Amino acid sequence: MLDALRAAGRCAGLAFQLRDDILGAFGDPLRTGKPADDDLRSRKLTYLLAVAVRLAGAADDHQAAATLAPDAAPGSDHAVERMRAALQRTGARDLVEAKIEELTDLSIGHFEATGAQPAVRREFAALVRHATGAAPRRAGEVA
């Protein structure tokens, strides 16, 4: 049971961090309470940015690669907008969103393996989905 709890927590934590990366690049500061461009301006090497750089290189998208390069000039408003566009165009945002869903589902699956009562499993699933911004409960998930 302890291993299942650890795995559930690890997967939930990773999914939450990836959601934070997405919000750090695309979030609405009025809703999140934090700037939506600090990570981009500082070119912080988040998983989102790393995926985008890799995808840009694989696609020979030299414009995106140059826009996202860690050593490029500090981010002006225009540079941040170009970075957001490149994150979208490379498919990095969609890939990270899919990873969030995958990790959320894994977390819930691990927690289900603990043998916790159904009401507790439902509450955990709802909490993790809310915290990670994952899609609402799926059919067949903890009755």
Alpha helices in the chain (DSSP H): 2-26, 29-32, 38-41, 47-58, 62-68, 77-89, 92-112, 118-132
Cα(94)–Cα(92) distance, integer angstroms: 5
Mean pLDDT in runs of 10 for the chain (143 residues)? 95 97 90 82 91 96 92 80 95 98 97 95 96 78 46
Radius of gyration of the chain (CA): 17
pTM, 2 dp: 0.89
Q: Check: CB of residue 19 under 8 Å from CB of residue 100.
A: yes
* Domains of the chain, each with CATH number or no CATH: 2-132 (1.10.600.10)
Predicted pLDDT of residue 143: 37
- Helix, coil or strand: residue 10: helix
Predicted pLDDT of residue 70: 81
